[in-house]
Amino acid sequence: MSKKITDKVTWVGKIDWELQHFHGDELSTFRGSSYNAYLIRDEKNVLIDTVWGPYDREFVSRLKEEIDLKDIDYIIMNHNESDHSGALPEIMREIPDTPIYCTKMGETIIRGMYHQDWNFVNVKTGDTLNIGESTLTFVEAKFLHWPDTMFTYMDSDKILFSNDGFGEHFACEELFDYQANLDDVYSEAMKYYANILNPFNTFVKKKLAEVLAMNLPLEYVCPSHGIVWHDHIQDIIDRYQKWCDAYQEDQITIVYDTMWNATRHMAEAIAEGIRETSPETRVLVLSMTKSDKNDILTEMFRSKGVLVGSPTINNGFSYATAGILEMAKGLKFKGKKAAAFGSYGWSGEAAKKITAELADAGFEIVADGQRVKWAPDQDALEACREYGRAFAKAF
Ligand code: FEO
């Protein structure tokens, strides 16, 4: 069902209540998502973005209830990842000559994915499209989070269509921020930022400054996922400004994998030591195999310090540890202190190898890895507590 935002603008997207995984299995989306597309009616009619491919027929059929497709004058594609461009082939089958406004890279991506010679109009920052009472202004937003991304600003209704920026994977019937459960929304927005946008912090910071300097009046910010911002625009902008700037809270996160519980006992003893020394610090102990990987990465994102533990397995560390370390490296966290730990039986390389991986991922290493041979006895557990105390004192 479509939903009205203003007299001129209608949400025509798709709520995906079932989505649990995004980007293959790279990102968990336990609260579902939405693919937000918008229809602007003025003297000219404009469709902004589409939805993910599996919903293409449903999307086009519902769009036809809103408007005769032949009355759509322009399609604007702010970003062309499959979750937004997936329904383009279905709609273009019916209106093949309709101009598609996108960045030059947007055209490259659409051509690369759909192999169609559609009527592309390349736009760049500052280009405008007059559609009657409203003028649409395009603002390239390269690497927020793909190289093709752009924003579109509609002056008459003071709306910024920001695509993935300011969005979150969150399925809900409520369209506006003032209707939704904001705790859930902000939690998902942070998870989205940590897992998708964090590698592009420099671009986010620059783009925020550029857009704010434009002094655009904003009544609505309409992202391509989740709720539409209206009452809390400044709040989400403030959060983005903090998140893009080596964000951290007074939190230390300990993530571990374990085979026979020795490394788990080490993790718990290290946590006790941190709590003794720094009782005000929030300390989280998360199993890499029992907790969701993206929730772990979100907790790492909000931490000032991270400890990673694994038993030594075949002269290295566990596959779950390898996965988390690889993902953390890709997310390019900045300004976080780290150390490693792990139990072993004979060769004992894990702690040293994890330390090297953490350093390679950009963490500041504050101690050599802590190791325990076989199962930790009381002395070994006290050594782990002391390791935790020393780690807490590094801040
Ligand atoms: Fe929501 Fe980058 O696609």
- Reported as a single tens digit per residue, the pLDDT across 219-277 is 999 999 999 999 999 999 999 999 999 999 999 999 999 999 999 999 999 999 999 99
Atom nearest to 146 CA in ligand 1: 2
pTM: 0.97
User: Catalytic site residue 84?
Assistant: no
Q: Count of CB atoms within 10 A of residue 10's CB?
A: 18
- Over residues 262-275, the pLDDT tens digits come to 999 999 999 999 99
- Residue 290 CA to residue 36 CA, distance in Å, equals 32
Contact 102/76 with Cβ under 8 angstroms? yes
Which pair of structure tokens corresponds to residue 286? 């998360």
User: Atom 1 in ligand 1: which residue has the minimum CA distance?
Assistant: 164
- Residue 183 CA to residue 368 CA, distance in Å, equals 38
Cis peptide upstream of residue 145 (ω within 30 degrees of 0): yes
What confidence score (pLDDT) does residue 286 get?
Answer: 98
Q: How far is the CA of 285 from the centre of ligand 1 (A)?
A: 31
What confidence score (pLDDT) does residue 258 get?
Answer: 98
Q: How far is the CA of 387 from the centre of ligand 1 (A)?
A: 42
Q: How far is the CA of 83 from the centre of ligand 1 (A)?
A: 6
Q: Is 124 a residue whose pLDDT tops 90?
A: yes
**Residue keyed to tokens 């101690």:** 367
User: Atom 3 in ligand 1: which residue has the minimum CA distance?
Assistant: 81
User: Which parts of the chain fold into alpha helices (H)?
Assistant: 56-66, 82-85, 88-92, 104-114, 182-192, 201-213, 233-243, 262-277, 293-301, 319-331, 350-360, 378-393
Please, what are the domains in the chain?
A: 3-243 (3.60.15.10), 251-392 (3.40.50.360)
Based on C-alpha coordinates, what's the Rg of the chain? 24
Residues whose CB is less than 8 angstroms from the CB of residue 346 and which lie 6 or more positions away in sequence, other chains included: none
Atom nearest to 225 CA in ligand 1: 1
**Protein residues with CB under 6 Å of any ligand 1 atom:** 79, 81, 83-84, 145-146, 164, 224-225
Sign of CA dihedral 91, 95, 96, 99: negative
Instruction: Work out whether strand 45-48 and strand 74-76 pair parallel, antiparallel, or are unpaired.
Output: parallel
What confidence score (pLDDT) does residue 1 get?
Answer: 80
Q: How far is the CA of 145 from the centre of ligand 1 (A)?
A: 8
- Over residues 293-318, the pLDDT tens digits come to 999 999 999 999 999 999 999 999 99
Average pLDDT, the chain: 98
User: Atom 2 in ligand 1: which residue has the minimum CA distance?
Assistant: 81
User: Catalytic site residue 56?
Assistant: no
What confidence score (pLDDT) does residue 110 get?
Answer: 98
Atom nearest to 167 CA in ligand 1: 1
The residue among 330, 68, 31, 307 whose CA lies nearest residue 172 is: 31
- Residue 135 CA to residue 154 CA, distance in Å, equals 6
Q: Is 363 a residue whose pLDDT tops 90?
A: yes
